[in-house]
A and B are shown apart, each in its own frame.
Chain A
Amino acid sequence: MIVRISGEGQYELPDADAQRLNDLDNQAVAAVEAGDEPKFHELWNQMLDLVTSDGTELADDELVESDVILPPRDSTFEDAKMEWSGEGLIPD
């Protein structure tokens, strides 16, 4: 599975991590919807850690599409609320 962290780069993750990442993702969304900021940050950091520690960074000259694109590392709780809860905010 190829995962991009927006603003940073792409990582190749073992397929087994997909489920783990998906679980964290669902929990993070639940935390956002519940207004639980500390919990959101904790889960968000776990997601980033999972990708960067388990994944291998793709070489800069590889042209591959990502399966999943994560928001920028410095995304705030406010960003998360705006973009990722409910219907989400999809520009264009």
Chain B
Amino acid sequence: MPGLGGRFSTVVKAKVSKLLDRAEDPGETLDYGYNKQLELLQNVKKGIADVVTSKKRLQMQEEQIKQQVVKLDTQARQALAQGREDLARAALERKTVAQNELQTLDQQVAELEKQQEALTENEKKMRAKIEAFRTKKEVIKAQYSAAEAQVKIGEAASGVGEQMADLGLAMQRAQDKTEQMKARAGAVEELEAAGTFDDITQLGPPQDDIDKQLAELSAGSQVDDELAKMKAELGEGGGGDAPALEEGEKQAEQS
């Protein structure tokens, strides 16, 4: 099988033989293998903790951005009610940016969730293999002649070595993904710090890159549609929509 399976088998088996080459005699292979397994299990635990931490960080960002979305929506309504369509538009532009960000964060949290489950499942398997290896190790030591023991040790070590190599690859993949998301989370924090999701009432005249980007974005139909919808709500109802507005105004007065 030279294709997908063949190539991947080659990669994993190369790692296994590298692992086993480090030990010189069969007895050493057993102990080395066993210690290496325990070491790897610790790494997996750390890896899972890492994934959980990254997930929590993203979830916290999600919460903050959700609050911003609500706030910006309220502010757009207030601005429109006061006849400031320009401000309303700016608020809706920011809301669109925030909503897009939320969507991405949602996907990332889901992906980390999957990673976490897979690694946890993997850790369980590895633990069972280690236990099996430990039992086998004792049986081999007690029951077999040297020559037989060597064969048995080879089999057991290859079996468990494959699991180790595979788990090592899974860990690496999880780490790569977590790193990417950490970098992204950092970038989002910078955006927040730069005021992208900030209170629209605190904005001066457009002056930074973000405002330029937002202006470009406003060409997009989402902002136009939403603005039209808000206008319709405000226009049609006349006094009918007053409670929402009053509520908004109250909030504005409080802040």
Q: Is the CB of B128 within 8 A of A68?
A: no
Give the residues in chain A near B160, CB-CB below 8 Å.
Answer: 63
A68-B173 contact in complex given A61-B132, A80-B4, C-beta closer than 8 Å: no
Chain B minimum-CB-distance residue to A44: B4
Nearest CB on B from A44, distance (A) = 8
Report the contact-size class of chain A (Cβ under 8 Å from the partner).
Answer: 35 or more
A63 to B13, CA, bound (A): 15
The residue that B5 contacts in the complex, of A21, A61, A65, with Cβ under 8 A, is A21
Interface string of B163-179 (1 = CB under 8 A from A): 10010011001000000
* Count of chain A to chain B residue pairs whose CB atoms are closer than 8 Å in the complex: 103
A84-B7 contact in complex given A63-B136, A72-B173, C-beta closer than 8 Å: yes
Say if the beta carbon of A22 comes within 8 Å of chain B.
yes
Say if the beta carbon of A34 comes within 8 Å of chain B.
no
A64 to B160, CA, bound (A): 7
The residue that A72 contacts in the complex, of B18, B133, B159, B170, with Cβ under 8 A, is B170
Say if the beta carbon of B162 comes within 8 Å of chain A.
yes
The residue that A69 contacts in the complex, of B9, B128, B155, with Cβ under 8 A, is B9
Say if the beta carbon of B144 comes within 8 Å of chain A.
no
Nearest CB on A from B61, distance (A) = 24
Q: Is the CB of B3 within 8 A of A29?
A: yes
Say if the beta carbon of B205 comes within 8 Å of chain A.
no
Say if the beta carbon of A83 comes within 8 Å of chain B.
yes
Q: Is the interface of B mostly helix, strand, loop or mixed?
A: helix
Report the contact-size class of chain B (Cβ under 8 Å from the partner).
Answer: 35 or more
A63-B133 contact in complex given A29-B3, A70-B5, A80-B4, C-beta closer than 8 Å: yes
Chain B minimum-CB-distance residue to A51: B5
Nearest CB on B from A27, distance (A) = 9
Give the residues in chain A near B12, CB-CB below 8 Å.
Answer: 4, 6, 69
Residues on A lying within 8 angstroms of B by beta carbon are: 3-4, 6-9, 21-22, 25-26, 28-29, 44, 47, 59-72, 80, 83-84, 88, 90-92
Q: Identify 6 residue pairs between A and B in the complex whose beta-carbon atoms are under 8 Å apart, listed by A's number.
A: A7-B170, A63-B159, A66-B9, A84-B3, A84-B4, A90-B7
9 nearest interchain CB pairs? A63-B159, A60-B128, A61-B132, A25-B3, A29-B3, A68-B5, A69-B9, A65-B158, A7-B170
Inter-chain pairs besides A60-B132, A70-B8, 16 sampled, C-beta below 8 Å: A4-B166, A22-B1, A22-B3, A25-B6, A29-B4, A44-B4, A60-B124, A62-B159, A63-B132, A63-B136, A65-B158, A68-B9, A69-B166, A71-B8, A83-B11, A84-B7
